[in-house]
Amino acid sequence: EVQLVESGGGLVQPGGSLRLSCAASGFTFSSYWMSWVRQAPGKGLEWVANIKQDGSEKYYVDSVKGRFTISRDNAKNSLYLQMNSLRAEDTAVYYCARLVWEPYYFDYWGQGTLVTVSS
């Protein structure tokens, strides 16, 4: 059974940093692209970032470029999101999702971890 379990969320002050983790199990992690998708309270889904199987390609939504870094450790079956220079508008539930690159869809999702940016 595919499982994705996020952790690392919490309350952080504006300008601060946080590192999210996603532990994957039940599939060959190194064979899949992975993604982060977020959802602000009461709002819709917003794609954040993608990373290729070997980490050689990464894509970001414009609003987080230069502030967020997606990475992975295939030996640990783990996905990460390093978030720096956090802003109030980054407040959201962050979901880890498995991405099937062709024909491009998110087939499994974690339960999400809440990040709150507030003073």
Partner 1 sequence: QSALTQPASVSGSPGQSITISCTGTSSDVGGYNYVSWYQQHPGKAPKLMIYEVSNRPSGVSNRFSGSKSGNTASLTISGLQAEDEADYYCSSYTSSSTSRFGTGTKVTVL
DSSP 68-102: EEEEEEGGGTEEEEEE-S--GGG-EEEEEEEEETT
3-state secondary structure of 105: strand
Binding partner 1 (rule: CB under 8 A), the pick from 31, 75, 103, 119 is 103
Give the nearer residue to partner 1 in terms of CB position, either 50 or 80: 50
Binding piece for partner 1, criterion CB under 8 A, among 12-20, 74-82, 84-92, 107-115? 107-115
Candidates 22, 29, 34, 35; binder of partner 1 (CB under 8 A) is 35
CB of residue 37 to partner 1, shortest distance in Å: 8
